[in-house]
Structure 1
C-alpha cells in the first residue's frame, strides 16, 4: 500500500450531472479531473448502458459543462470550435455554441449558436429550448453591431474596464465577480427561427425552473436597490406566451418548485422562527391557492462536507406524482420521496452521502460517497443498492487510508457526534500530534466519508478529529439555530469534544493544532482568542469582524444581521462582542491565514485584519493569499493552488506540532 500524498487528489475522478436518455437505455453523466499542467479541470460526458452496466467516455466538454439529450441517439453539448466566433466573444459579444454527437457513429457537428451567455439550458423538442442567461442592464450589446457603430461600442467596452458602477447590494458575488445590475434571466429559444423570447424581466434573477407539458414554473427574485431574501413563483404557458403569478415574492424564501400531480409543490421558509437557516416546509399551489402540504424539520439538500467533489447536481425531481429529493439526516445525506398523500419514504441507505440522482423506470441511479470510497455511481432496484462504476477504486485499493472512528460527547445537554482518524502508521504506546478540523456553514455536517486533507494528515502521522457542534445540519431547526450565540455553545461543544478525544486517546501529545474554513475559520479565530491550548492554528477564508463583513461581502448585509440578531446600528456592542478581532490582543497561538483574493463571501479583509492584529501584538503569523481564487479554493480552486494551499497548511503543522 502506498501513502496518500497531497498531490494524489490530481488522480481523483469527480462525477456530476446525471441524466437519462429519452428511451431509458442509457444513463449519462459528467466525469471531471484536475489537470495540473493546464491548471484547470477536464470534463467529459460518459454514458452507462443500463442493461450491460458498461460505461464509456463519449466526448470532451467546454468550460460551461452543459449537455442534454436531444433524442435517443444524440447528445448536444457546449463547445465552441469556431476561432472567429471566439475572437468576437473575446471582444465582448455574447455567444453560447453547441455541438451534437451521434452515439453510434460518434460523429460531431455544430448544432446551434445562441447569442447569449447561457448559464443553463433544457431541451423541449429539439426545436424549442428553455434557458437562463446572464443579462447586464448596464452592458453594451455588441452582437450584430458593424461599422462605425461597432467601433463606438468597442471603445465604450474598453473604457468600462477601467471602472465599476455600483448602485445596489449585493454588488458582487463569490465566484461571479461584480454583479451590479446583472441578472440571471429566463428565456425561450427557437433553434429553427432563431427567436429569443425573454420570459422574466430585466431586474429579476431566476434561480430555479422546471418544465412539464408546455408549461414552465420558476422562481423570481426581483430587486433594484437591495436584494431581499424572498422569492416569488410564476408559471409560463409556452403556447400562449402568458405569465401567471402563483406566489408573491414577499413572504418566503423559495427552496425549490416542481410540478406535482395537477398543481405544483415547493419548499418555503418564512424565516419567522429560526431565521434564514430555517428548514423549508412543503407547500402546494393549486388553482391559485397556497396550502401547507407537509411539515418538515430537515434540510432539503446534501450538506455532508468533503473536499472531493466537482460539478453540479440536482436535488429535486418529480416522477409519476412523487417528489424525490435529497436531505441530510444526522451525518449522512439520503434520497427520499414524498407522494401525493404526504407519505415519505427513505430510499437510499443511511450512510455516506447522496450527491445527485436520476430516476429510470423502477430503478434509481445516484452519485454517492460511501465509507472511504470517493464518488461512484450506484443503482437502487427493488430496495437493493449496488455500485456500478469503479472510477476511483484504485485509490481505495492502493492507498493507505484510515477509517474514522465514531466518538461522541454530551455537551450543552445534547450528544455531539464526532470522529477520530488515527495515523495510518499507528502503533500502540507511541505519542502522536493531533489536528482539530472544524467544518464550515455553520449549517453543514461532517460525516465518515472520504476527506482528502484529513487522510493526508493521517498518512503523515497525525490524529485528526472533528465533530458536529450546535449550529450544524441534520438534527432539525432547534439544534441548528445559533443566532446570537456564535462563539458560545458551539465553542463549548468543540472544547468538550477536544477534551473527550484527549482523554480517550492518551497517546495524543499535548501538541494539538486547529483549523477550519469559513465558519470553521471564524471558530479558529475565536478559539485562539479564548484559549492557548493549541500549539498552532490555520484560519482559512475566515470571519474576524462582523462590522466589516456586513459592508464588504455578498451576503453580509443580511446574513450577519440574521445570524447575530444585531446590526452595526442595532446593538453594535453585541456585533463587536461576537467578533474574534475584539479578542486579538489575547492571542498567543502561532497562526497561518489562508485567504483568496476574490473571496467575496468572506472577503480578504477579514483575514488581513486578524493577521495584522495578532502581528501587532507580537504573535507569530503568516498569511498566504491566492490570486484569482474565491471561497471555493479548497474544493474547486485551480489544481496548482490547491496543492500549494495544502502544502502551506501542512508545513505549518509540521513546524509547530512535530
Structure 2
C-alpha cells in the first residue's frame, strides 16, 4: 500500500463530493454546476456553484441544509432559475447573477421541476404533476396539509406505480408556462398523459416534448414527439407511435429537430439512435443506423444515481450534431455530420457523465470520472486537442486514501465470444499471497460496467478482496447483437459468460484463492447471483440485492413486470408459465448450499421485496444458510441514492458477510 495512505471505508461516503449538471452561460465566460455532499447528519445536500472561466476556483452560490439542482441560465445571463426543496417541496427558485438571496417563483401543492427558459427570456417552462381537472394550487392549501397517507389509493390502470415516484395517485406530469414579467402561470398540456423532455423553438413560439398520448397508453410503451403552439395551444404529433423518441432539440434556424430514439426492434435491448426530423413534413431520418454503438450514457457506478443527459446538441451552422455514446466500457463525446459520418471529440478510458455546449464558441464543459476519481469538470474546445481541468473537488480526500486501479481483462466464453471486464487487486496486495475474490454482476441487464469510480469495489478491495467485474452478453457497449443476446435466455449463455470470466482470471492470476470465491449483484445482478448459487457450489458466499427470484410473481408485482417479463424472457404467465418457472432461481432452491445474504428495500417497486421474501422463506424452510436484511424507506436505488445511513448499513453488512464466510 502507498505510504501514508489509508484504505477506503464505508464512512468515506461522507467525504466524497459529487459534481454534476454543468450549464454554460450565454456569454460563455462562466458556468454553473451542482455539488452534492452527504452531511454529518447523514442527509444529502446539494448547492449551486458558479465558476468564471477566468478564475481558478468556482464560487458557492447557495447554502444551507437544502437540495438545489436543475440550474438554468436566462438567455441574457442575468438570472439563474433552479429547483430547490428549501420551502419543503421541490419548487422553482430564481436568483440574480449580480448577487442576492434566491426568491421563490412557484408555490405549487404538487411541486415543480425541469425549468427551461424561452430563447427570448419572456417565459419559463416547467413541469408539475396534476390530477384530472386539477387546477394549479398553492402548497399552503388546506387539502395539501391533510393526512393523505391514510387515504386509500384507487387503482384502475396497469401503470399505477413506479419505483421513482411510488404510487401515482392519478396524477400526470403537465407542462406549465410562467410569464416572467406578468408573474402568471398557465397549464399548457392536459389529459391522462405524462409530458416531459421539452425544448423551445428558436422563435419562442413552439415547444417540442415527449409523451405517450395514445388511447391505449396504459398498455403501450411507445413514446412520441409532439409540438405545441404556446399561443393557440394546438398540438401536432411528429412521430407515429412505432418506437421511443425523446430528448428532442431544435436546430438554430428551427428547420430541423434532432432527437434520440429507436423503434423497439429489440424491445428494451434496442440501441438508441440519433434521428433528424423535419417539423413541417414530419420526415424522419435515422442518422446513426450504421454505427453499432449505444447513443447516450450507459455507464453504471454507485456514487451518482443518474446522469444528466444533454441529448443531441446542434452546432451553430447546423452542420454537426454532438452527443455522448457508450462503447467498450467508456462513455465519450462524439460529433456527426449531416452525411452520418461520426468522429470522436473525447474518447478516453473514462466516463463522460455530463455535458454543456456553447455553440458560438464551440466550447464544451463536461464531467469526467475514472476509477481513480469520482468526477471533475473539464473544458473541451471542439477544434483543439485534449481537455483542461476546471475543478479538483475531491483532491483532499484522494490524497488520504489508497485506491486499487482496475486492470482490463478479455475472457473467452464457451462459444468463443469475447467478454470484457476488469480485475482489481486488494489494497494490501503482496506478491506470493493468495486472496479471496468477489464477482460483481451489474443490473439492467442492458447497462455497462465502465471506467468510472465505484466506491463499493474500492471498499471490497480495501478489505482484502480481489474484485472481478465484467460485461456479459446483454450489456451495452458491444453492439446490438451483444446487448440483445441474453433476451429469452436469462441464466443461459449470460451465466456461462460470467463463469468463463471467473475461470479466465483463475487461470491467469495465481494470487486468487479458488476456494474462497464470493458473488454479489443487484437487480438483474441479483437475479444472476440467485441463479449462480442454484447452479454451482463453487462460490462460498453470496449477497443478493434487490433481486428477482420468481418470474411468475414478478410479472404482476413489479412496476414494469407485465411488459418487461415478455420483453426479456419472451413469455407471460398465461401463454407459457413453464418458461417463466424455468428461468426462476427459486425453482432451484433445493440446490442452493451457498450461504446467502438477501438485501432488499421495502419500497422497491421495480423488484418488489416479495421477491426477496419468497426466496428467504423457501431457503429457510429448506434449512439452508440464509439471512434476510430489509431496508425501510429504500427503493430500487438504495445502493446509489438511497438514504445515506442505509447505504452505509448495506456496505457494512456486505463486508461482514464476506468476512465471515470467506476468511474463516
The aligned residue for residue 209 of structure 2 is: 218
Aligned to 2:299: 304
Shift of 1:142: 5.7
> Any conservation in 2 of the 1:235–1:243 contact (CA below 8 Å)?
yes
Does the residue aligned with 1:15 lie in a helix, a strand or coil?
Answer: strand
* Residue of structure 2 in register with 1:399 after alignment: 401
Aligned Cα root-mean-square deviation (Å)? 2.3
After superposition, residues 250-329 of structure 1 pair within 5 angstroms as 250-260=241-251, 262-272=255-265, 274-286=266-278, 287-294=280-287, 295=289, 296-309=291-304, 312-316=307-311, 317-320=313-316, 321=318, 322-329=320-327
Change (3 A) 1:112 1:119: closer
Q: Which moved more, 1:218-227 or 1:467-476?
A: 218-227
What CA distance in whole angstroms lies between the structure 1 residues aligned with 2:499 and 2:459? 24
Deviations 1:116-135 (A, max 9, x none): 52121112244411111111
Contact 1:595 1:625 in 2 (8 A): yes
8 Å contact from structure 1 (residues 168, 225) kept in 2: no
Task: Indicate yes or no: 2:486 matched with 1:495.
Answer: no
Q: Against the structure 1 CA distance between its residues 81 and 644, is the aligned structure 2 distance closer, same or farther, given a 3 Å change threshold? A: closer
Q: SS of 1:346's equivalent?
A: strand
Asked if the contact 1:76/1:111 (under 8 Å) is kept, the reply is no
Change (3 A) 1:81 1:590: closer
State the match for 1:6 in structure 2: 10
Asked if 1:584 corresponds to 2:589, the answer is yes
What secondary structure does 2:105 align onto?
strand
Q: Distance in 1 between matches of 2:136 and 2:34?
A: 33
> Are the structure 2 counterparts of residues 145 and 471 from structure 1 closer, same or farther at C-alpha, using a change threshold of 3 Å?
closer
- Residue matched to 2:524: 519
**How is 1:372-387 mapped onto 2 (pairs within 5 angstroms)?**
372-381=372-381, 382-387=384-389
- Give 1:65-104 correspondences, 5 Å limit: 65-70=69-74, 71-79=76-84, 96-103=91-98
Deviation at 1:283, TM superposition (A): 2.9
Instruction: State the 1:293 CA deviation.
Output: 3.3
How far 1:594 sits from its partner (Å)?
Answer: 0.9
Cα shift at 1:282: 3.1
Report the CA distance between 1:177 and its aligned residue: 1.0
Structure 2, gaps ≥5 residues long = none
Task: Give the C-alpha shift of residue 624 in structure 1.
Answer: 1.1
Counterpart Cα distance in 1 of 2:295 and 2:197? 14
Aligned residues of 1:405 and 1:421 also touching (Cα < 8 A): yes
Q: How far did 1:79 drift? A: 4.6
Q: Does 1:334 align with 2:332?
A: yes
Q: Which of 168, 171, 175 is matched with 1:179 structurally? A: 168
Report the counterpart of residue 641 of structure 2 in structure 1.
Answer: 636
The 1:437/1:142 distance shift into structure 2, 3 A limit, reads same
2:25 counterpart of 1:18 = no
* Matched residue SS, 1:569: coil
Give the Å deviation of 1:549.
1.1
1:92 is matched with: none
Alignment of 1:131 onto 2:126:
yes
Checking the alignment, whether the CA contact within 8 Å between 1:112 and 1:191 is kept in structure 2 is no
The 1:263–1:99 alpha-carbon spacing in structure 2 relative to 1, beyond 3 Å, is closer
Q: Please report how far the alpha carbon of residue 456 of structure 1 lies from its aligned counterpart in structure 2 after TM superposition.
A: 1.1
Q: Which residue of 1 aligns with 2:197?
A: 208
Deviation at 1:650, TM superposition (A): 0.5
More displaced stretch, 627-636 vs 407-416: 407-416
Q: CA deviation at 1:202?
A: 2.4
Report if aligned partners of 2:223, 2:246 keep a CA contact under 8 Å in 1: no
Contact 2:543 / 2:597 at 8 angstroms: preserved in 1? yes
Please say if residues 232 and 247 of structure 1, whose CA atoms lie closer than 8 Å, have aligned partners that are also in contact.
yes
Stretches of structure 1 lacking an aligned partner (at least 5 in a row): 90-94
2:214 matched to 1:232?
A: no
Q: Does 1:122 align with 2:116?
A: yes
Sort the Cα spacing of 1:107 and 1:282 in 2 relative to 1 into closer, same or farther, 3 A.
closer
Q: CA separation of 1:368/1:80 partners in 2, compared to 1, >3 Å: closer, same or farther? A: closer
TM-score by length of 1: 0.92
Closer, same or farther in 2 for the Cα pair 1:407/1:158, shift >3 Å?
Answer: closer
C-alpha deviation, 1:323, in angstroms:
2.2
Contact 1:218-1:234 within 8 A present in 2 as well: yes
Following the alignment from structure 1 to structure 2, what is the Cα–Cα distance between the partners of residues 78 and 110? 11
Q: Which residue matches 1:615? A: 620
Q: CA deviation at 1:145?
A: 9.9
CA contact (8 A) 1:203 1:224 kept: no
